[in-house]
Amino acid sequence: MRIRSNKNHSSRIKLPLLVGLVVVFLIAAVGCGGSADLEQPADLEPVKESPMATGGTSGTGITKTEPLTLADASAIGNEGQDGVFNRLWSDPPTLDPHLTSDTTSSGLVVEIFGGLVSFDTDLNLVPDLAESFEISSDSLTYTFVIRDTAVFHNGKPVTAADIKWSLERAANPDTASPVAETYLGDIIGVEEVLDGMTDQISGVTVVDDRTIQIKIDSPKAYFLQKLTYPTAYVLDRENVESGGRNWTDEPNGTGPFKLVEYKIGERLILERHDAYHLGDVGLKKIQMNLAGGSSMAMYENDEIDITGVGLFDLERIKDPSDPLHSDLVVANPSFSISYIGFNAQQPPFDDPKFRQALNHAVDKELIAREVLADLVVPAYGILPPGFPGHNENLEGLRYDPVLAKKLLSESAYADPSSRPRIIVTIPGSGGTPNLDLEVIINMWLDVLGVEVEIQQVEWATYLRDLDRQKFQAFGGLGWEADYPDPQDFLDILFHTESENNNGAYSNTDVDSILEEARVEVDVVKRMELYGQAEESIVADAPWLPLWFAGERHLLIKPYVKGYVVTPMIVPKMRHVYIQD
């Protein structure tokens, strides 16, 4: 999933001012609503959520919370079931699960809809609409039995035919899903549907009303995890076909919450689905404020119940004497990376030495320390810390201005008079860009004499054009794990034929390694293959990896119970309840 963007602008900043600009950065963060909840997209500084918070008080004096359950709500009476949770959000690019490819949309879609399987808040793969599943001895056939309690929001039972139709609808070229091939392409017959040769997926069979079989092309350890992504969610055919292009205005989902109101730029309201098949839902209502503003000010004014804590407020909130200190939750990093991507098919980024030069010209340690207050971890690889396959010994392309200049001189674009104009496109609409991007562009100029401009594009348009590989270079976003497997980063983002390879990167040796890793059953060998692939990708420099998430700081109202901080987006709001 792509992580939402920050506001940006194109003014230039000189490196001698770097330390002093920390103050400017802090002010800009507040102006952008800098202290936002992690899953906030749009114009808010991202603060991601993680499942590692534990009870008690840490040695630093920062209070942490331990997730509670609905059993606790039952113990305190009905008031735990009637609460309203208020938060700041942003208008989603889509509410259609089959079109979802960003965290802004996903954070809502996972609560309104559902699929055969899901992740719980501990990132265990668990049945959702399916009550059980079996995998054949050759690991090619998956048989799912649907719960007899699984119903749509209007009470209509979910059937195997609904699931088959939904998968075929996601793969249909008329749907124009940007991720159908990525998440469903392992299923036999999906390619034929994507190519318009048929509208039936041959590898999906309805056995009876409650049983469905899915056959894949080869054994793949991560296949079930892919079915947790919204592309595989079930939709109500009648709802979609009768609603036309605007069917998501009144979606008939299966999730714990149903959409009851959506006014663009104002508010979005979800209400509890009383017949939810996985049990009681703790909240009566979730109210999303879409109008924007300073999330910290809104939190202090009791307008919202959760916010991230930005740099400007962090020192104050950490002070035990501050009245908000007791609301502070410290969470482990999310499984995400931010980066600047290069289109390897467009000059000057079609020259690996030019890309490598740009990597070696950036002092990430300095930026992390002096600009970002060590709240991020400089990234020299692709896989985040704590993620399966992460290589803490990967050297990567470190800051080396002498080597950077040498590589530039050896590239096809050493002469600035013949070098193409360079534009980095970011999401935004005229606001202030991340200061780290400004400093990076300044480093390229000071170290290499390479001039780079910033161009802004509205978020939904940005996602569309990114999928079409239109940008020469692109920044202001990142990638967050959809499931905990290296394939979700390395294969999906860098295989030549992947639809999420937004920089058109291609390396046949890397492709071969990734393809071998797909079907390798030995876990150790699989991780070794992904390690080889990552080293080759990093050396080729199709990206400038920037930051892995650091420790995250949130404020959560004390009456909010059961809110679990997770390293990636999973359905979790049904566990939340309000205790006055």
Question: Can you give the pLDDT at residue 2?
Answer: 46
Assess whether 214 and 345 both reside in one domain. no
- Does an H or E element contain 162, and which? helix 160-171
Tell me the per-residue pLDDT of 310-369, one tens digit each, with 9 for 90 and over: 888 999 999 999 999 999 999 989 999 999 999 999 999 999 999 999 999 999 999 999
Secondary structure (3-state) at 80: helix
Tokens 């709500």 sit at which residue? 73
- pTM score, whole prediction: 0.83
3-state secondary structure 311-369: HHHHHHHHCCCCCCHHHEEEECCCCEEEEEEECCCCCCCCCHHHHHHHHHCCCHHHHHH
Which residue type sits at 17? L
Assess whether 435 and 468 both reside in one domain. yes
Question: Can you give the pLDDT at residue 57?
Answer: 28
Weakest-pLDDT range from 47-61, 478-492, 541-555: 47-61
Question: Can you give the pLDDT at residue 430?
Answer: 75
Tokens 């794990």 sit at which residue? 481
Weakest-pLDDT range from 76-80, 192-196, 304-308, 327-331: 76-80
Query: Does a structural domain hold residue 390?
Result: yes
* Among 375, 538, 354, CA closest to 444: 354
Q: Of 249, 266, 291, which residue constitutes the final position of a domain?
A: 249
Using CA atoms, how far apart are residues 473 and 348, in angstroms rounded to an integer?
10
For range 199-220, the mean pLDDT: 97
* Among 63, 88, 134, CA closest to 290: 88
Residues 349-372: b if buried by 16+ CB within 10 A, e if exposed: bebbbbbbbbbbbbbbebbbebbb
Assess whether 436 and 344 both reside in one domain. yes
pLDDT range class, residue 3, cuts 50, 70, 90 = very low
Question: Can you give the pLDDT at residue 308?
Answer: 94
Query: Does a structural domain hold residue 274?
Result: no
For range 424-431, the mean pLDDT: 86
Residues 6+ apart with CB under 8 A from 538: 380, 381, 382, 394, 396, 397, 545
Question: Can you give the pLDDT at residue 62?
Answer: 29
Assess whether 90 and 167 both reside in one domain. no
pLDDT range class, residue 53, cuts 50, 70, 90 = very low
For range 512-531, the mean pLDDT: 96
Examine the pLDDT at 78 and tell me if it is beyond 70. Answer: no
Query: Does a structural domain hold residue 25?
Result: yes
**Number of separate domains in the chain:** 3
Tokens 């309840």 sit at which residue? 577
Using CA atoms, how far apart are residues 228 and 233, in angstroms rounded to an integer?
8
Query: Does a structural domain hold residue 304?
Result: yes
Examine the pLDDT at 512 and tell me if it is beyond 60. Answer: yes
pLDDT range class, residue 26, cuts 50, 70, 90 = very low
Assess whether 10 and 62 both reside in one domain. no
CATH number of 140's domain: 3.90.76.10
Question: Can you give the pLDDT at residue 1?
Answer: 55
Tokens 């359950």 sit at which residue? 69
Assess whether 388 and 518 both reside in one domain. yes
* Among 5, 68, 1, 2, CA closest to 36: 5
In angstroms, the Cα distances linking 126 to 65, 121, 131, 571 are 24, 10, 9, 12
Assess whether 560 and 515 both reside in one domain. no
Question: Can you give the pLDDT at residue 231?
Answer: 97
The average confidence (pLDDT) of the chain is 87
pLDDT range class, residue 58, cuts 50, 70, 90 = very low
Tell me the per-residue pLDDT of 373-398, one tens digit each, with 9 for 90 and over: 888 999 999 999 999 999 999 999 99
Assess whether 352 and 418 both reside in one domain. yes
Tell me the per-residue pLDDT of 215-250, one tens digit each, with 9 for 90 and over: 999 999 999 999 999 999 999 999 999 999 999 999
Query: Does a structural domain hold residue 271?
Result: no
Examine the pLDDT at 45 and tell me if it is beyond 70. Answer: no
Assess whether 104 and 133 both reside in one domain. no
Using CA atoms, how far apart are residues 111 and 114, in angstroms rounded to an integer?
8
Examine the pLDDT at 73 and tell me if it is beyond 50. Answer: no
pLDDT range class, residue 80, cuts 50, 70, 90 = low
Examine the pLDDT at 22 and tell me if it is beyond 60. Answer: no
- List the beta strands (DSSP E) in 491-569: 543-549, 552-556, 560-561
Query: Does a structural domain hold residue 256?
Result: no
CATH number of 430's domain: 3.10.105.10
For range 493-513, the mean pLDDT: 96
Query: Does a structural domain hold residue 515?
Result: yes
Question: Can you give the pLDDT at residue 41?
Answer: 31
Tell me the per-residue pLDDT of 82-114, one tens digit each, with 9 for 90 and over: 899 999 999 999 999 999 999 999 999 999 999
Q: Of 249, 269, 298, which residue constitutes the final position of a domain?
A: 249
Examine the pLDDT at 214 and tell me if it is beyond 70. Answer: yes
Examine the pLDDT at 285 and tell me if it is beyond 80. Answer: yes
Assess whether 100 and 237 both reside in one domain. no
Assess whether 507 and 577 both reside in one domain. no
For range 499-519, the mean pLDDT: 96
User: What's the token pair of residue 326?
Assistant: 């007791």
Residue with more model confidence, 59 or 342:
342
Residue 167 lies in domain: 114-249
Assess whether 125 and 244 both reside in one domain. yes
Distance of CA 97 to the CA centre of its chain: 14
- Does an H or E element contain 88, and which? strand 83-88
In angstroms, the Cα distances linking 560 to 89, 183, 303, 564 are 18, 34, 14, 11
Tell me the per-residue pLDDT of 453-488, one tens digit each, with 9 for 90 and over: 999 999 889 989 999 999 999 998 899 999 999 999
What percentage of the chain reaches a pLDDT higher than 90? 80
Question: Can you give the pLDDT at residue 431?
Answer: 72
Q: Do 401 and 50 touch, CB atoms closer than 8 A? A: no
Query: Does a structural domain hold residue 275?
Result: no
Tell me the per-residue pLDDT of 151-187, one tens digit each, with 9 for 90 and over: 999 999 999 999 999 999 999 999 999 999 999 999 9
pLDDT range class, residue 116, cuts 50, 70, 90 = very high
Examine the pLDDT at 10 and tell me if it is beyond 60. Answer: no
CA gyration radius, the chain: 24
